[in-house]
Chain A
Amino acid sequence: MTLGSVDLHPWFLENAWLIPLIPAVSFVAILAFGKRLGAKAAWIGIGSVGAVWLLALGNVFQWIQRVNGFRATESEHGAPEGHLEAVSAFGRSVMRPFSEASHHEVAFVEPITRSMSWWSNGGMSLDVGIRIDGLAVMMLFVVTTISLLVHYYSTEYMKDDRRFTHYYAALSLFTASMLVLVVADNTVQLLVGWELVGLCSFLLIGHWWEDKPNSSAALKAFLTTRTGDIGLLCGVAMTYFVVERATGTGSFNIGAVNEAAMSLGHEGLAKSLLFWCAAGLLLGIIGKSGQFPLHTWLPDAMAGPTPVSALIHAATMVVAGVYLGARMFPVFFQGFDIAGGGVNLMAAVGGITVIIGAGLAFVQRDIKKVLAYSTISQLGYMVMALGVGAWSAAIFHLFTHAFFKANLFLGAGSVSHSGAHHSFDMVDDMGGLRKYMPKTFATFMIGTAALSGFPLLAGFFSKDEILATAGHNGFEFFMYLGFIGGGMTAAYMTRCVWLTFFGEYRGRKHAAHGHDEHSHDDNGHTEPHESTFPILMPLYVLSFMSVFAGILFAPMLKDTIGSSIFSKFPEWVEPGGDGSLFVSFIHPEFSWKDPLLATLFAAVGFGLSYLFFWKKAFMQDATQKNKALRQGKTFLENKYYLDHLYTDIIVGSVKGPIARGAYWVNQNIIDAVLRLTGGGVRKVGQFTYDVLDQKAVDGVPNGLAAITGAAGGSTRNVQTGRLQEYALLILSGTVVLGGMVAALVWAS
């Protein structure tokens, strides 16, 4: 095909390697000059991230041009032949392109790749380079936008912090590492970025390491994600062999791995190679993206400063796992046989996480922990979406979630910073803040609505698309799981908003700060008040995105209004093609069933929660008045009865036992398992000693001891302590084994 209308050397895309480089330089600069500059050091970071943000915008525009160029060229040449194969990729007859009019042909948009040899050894060489495609450009935009806002927000939030420059240095390093991960053109480079973001996460969670819980949380986060990284390491090593098996020469190049995965068949060794490769990578995703059962580190990671939670533990680093899943999707697609429908490992992990995370969010007192469990649950949606083949929906949810969750976290930070004396306890230190901080309240409400799937906001469209595609691809079970999760999301967010912003203010207005999070000397903070501009500005921007980001991928609006803006996101991000280089995706036809069902579930969740919190408060207040008016008000009495039913039986049974049970499982069983793998041998030994040895066996063992003693005594003679006798025995054994192997080889 001709590429007449495509700019073959787009400057921004070809020079995307600058994007990780600039924050890396800024990291060094802040470390070098930070102490001398004091608070001005922040502006090095802000300036560098601002520059990077502009580069990312340039990337976005040039990528869109490129997509349009490719697609325009393609439509001149008619529909590609591979179209029917693409449709049969999911092997189901119900599949049709998302919209016949605009998607009847989809050309593969060549990513921009540039690389140089990093080092080579024997026949194998490792490259370092960039691979810029729609997915990477989308991530560049998200990471730089959120990072810029967080950098600016932190100038106020972290003012007068004792390690202000270190904080900004770590933020810069994090941004650089995350961008390395995003632009990486091979899996080893991706791994390098992956580990670097883990390191930065560790540094920032433990920013106030003088307090023991903070440093413990940092360690827990580091070690837990490292557990997943064992799998990732194996998976990355296997990507090399996947390519070797398909083409004869191994490579870590992501494009090559994806192509190899698509070409490898479903039989025999290739299938199990792909399966184990995908399973290893999935373990990495589970660790990094807080999936069940390795999610326990994420709520503890809230010990870090709130802007860090927004940037790292909500919007960017934790979605690195999802990004990996999307980047290497053909490996998962083939390895887990996603086209086959039914249940697969990835969808199951995601589905469990959706429910577990949402359930746990009910019982938290700490506003950031509510948001943390909510993040876990939403990440579960993304992983589940990948697992059910809803690739575009997964990364669209990643896109919208980054904005509304960062909005919520920064809002929580604003509440704590200006309204609750740096405490995050909703029950003791918040309540009624709506009156004191109306702007924060408004932005927080927008974030909550977007997260809960309020119609026409960002989260509504992205979550809807996941569920619609899940149902369409033959994963009905996961679709209903997602609906239930959506209802739970609405319910716990309602609780969170009620506790924070409604009712009476429960904080101590003139008390010293008992829950001080850092040594911020705020004499003027005795009364809750609205935050200042550096905190509010990011909230406004993120609220705007939370409202409008959804329209880029809104089949509902597309169906009713019909403008092409409503399907731009998949058009720009999806690689397209005939399924030989990447999975080619089919979008379900829009039906009103899904959004209506989702809204219904969310409304039920919201309604139950509303009745529980608002009405209970109302009724407690009103029953005293009702005592005077009771005779004529049996009607209200009935309503009270209903309230009781809702609160105690329905909400109570949902909220209490299930959530507490899940929380108990979380705290006791999963943590215990993790602890066991850490210091387990000692515990097992202790148990054996205490229970088995001291209690159970104590009566029996005299005879046993004698026998053991005799056996030990006779074998003791072997242990002469002479080195060369040991060597003789070891080497003889080795020689005999070697001889047996030789004989086997010889015989065959």
Chain B
Amino acid sequence: MYLNQFLLLSAFLFCAGFYGVLTRKHSVLVLMSIELMLAAVNLNFVAFGAFRADVVGQVFALFVLTIAAAEVGVGLAIVLLIYRNLKSSNPDDLDTLKG
């Protein structure tokens, strides 16, 4: 198999996540899109690990997984806090930076 099969799939997933981060109207969905991007990065790591027959790709993928899990935990806690304070989970309502 070509390496590019995996890389292009990963690029596609990454772009989908990118789009989701910019367009979703619910904070939890934005977090999901970020997970999508991280999954894409992981696929890249694993593909390169297999390509180079090197275990490091898998090791890094595991670290990314761990950090993604931590990020979801803290991210959801923040979303919950915002929801409790603003009664909304739409990122558009967080407009205190409006000039």
* A730 CB, min distance to chain B CBs, angstroms: 10
Name which of B4-12, B38-46, B68-76, B90-98 contacts chain A.
Answer: B90-98
Measured between beta carbons, the chain A residues less than 8 angstroms from B98 are: 719-722
How far is B99's CA from A454's CA once the two chains are assembled, in angstroms? 74
Contact residues, B32-56 vs A (CB, 8 A): 56
A723 touches B99 (CB 8 A): no
**Contact partners of B95 in chain A: CB under 8 A:** 720-722
Contact A721 B18 (CB under 8 A): no
- How many of chain B's residues touch chain A, expressed as a range? 10 to 19
The interface residues of chain B lying within 8 Å CB-to-CB of A726 are 97
Question: Which B residue sits closest to A713, measured CB to CB?
Answer: B99
With beta carbons under 8 angstroms apart, the residue of A122, A719, A731 that contacts B22 is: A731
CB of B34, distance to nearest CB on chain A (Å):
11
A724 at the interface (CB under 8 A from B): yes
- Chain A hits for B96, CB < 8 A: 721
Structural contact, B99 and A724, CB atoms closer than 8 A: no
In this complex, what residue of A is CB-closest to B27?
A723
Q: Which residues of B contact A731 (CB under 8 A)?
A: 18, 21-22
Interface range on chain A (Cβ under 8 Å from partner): 10 to 19
- Bound CA span A719–B92, Å: 13
Contact status A724-B91, CB under 8 Å? yes
* Sampled A-B contacts (18; CB under 8 Å): A718-B99, A719-B97, A719-B98, A719-B99, A720-B95, A720-B99, A721-B94, A722-B91, A723-B91, A723-B92, A723-B94, A724-B22, A724-B92, A726-B97, A727-B21, A727-B22, A731-B21, A731-B22
CB distance from B20 to the nearest CB of A (A): 11
**Taking the nearest CB of chain B, how far is it from the CB of A726, in angstroms?**
8
A508 → chain B closest CB, angstroms = 65
- The docked-state distance in angstroms from the alpha carbon of A250 to that of B48 is 25
A510 located at the interface, meaning its Cβ lies under 8 Å from any Cβ of chain B in the complex: no
Residue of B nearest to A727 (CB): B22
Compute how far the CA of A721 lies from the CA of B92 in the bound complex, rounded to whole angstroms: 8
10 closest Cβ pairs, A-B complex = A721-B98, A719-B99, A721-B95, A721-B97, A716-B99, A723-B91, A728-B22, A724-B22, A722-B92, A723-B94
Q: Quick one: which of A122, A721, A727, A728 contacts B99, CB cutoff 8 A?
A: A721
A 353-374 binary contact with B (CB < 8 Å = 1; else 0): 0000000000000000000000
Question: What is the CA–CA distance of A495 and B90 in the complex, to the nearest angstrom?
Answer: 77
- Give every chain A residue within 8 A of B91 (Cβ-Cβ): 722-724
Within the complex, the shortest CB–CB distance from A677 to chain B, in Å, comes to 31
Shortest distance from the beta carbon of B75 to any chain A beta carbon, whole Å: 14
Residue of A nearest to B30 (CB): A724
CA–CA, A721 and B98, complex, Å: 4
* A117-163 CB contacts (< 8 Å) to partner B: 122
> In the complex, what's the smallest C-beta–C-beta distance from A714 to chain B, in angstroms?
11
Interface string of B82-94 (1 = CB under 8 A from A): 0000000001101
**Chain B positions within 8 Å of A724 at CB level:** 21-23, 91-92
Which A residues lie within 8 Å of B56 (CB)?
Answer: 122
Q: How far is the CB of A734 from chain B (nearest CB, A)?
A: 10
The answer for the CA separation of A719 and B95 in the assembled complex, in Å, is 10
Given the complex of chains A and B, what is the CA–CA distance between A233 and B23 in angstroms?
Answer: 44
In the bound complex, how far is the Cα of B15 from the Cα of A731, in angstroms?
Answer: 12
- B23 proximity list for chain A (CB < 8 A): 724
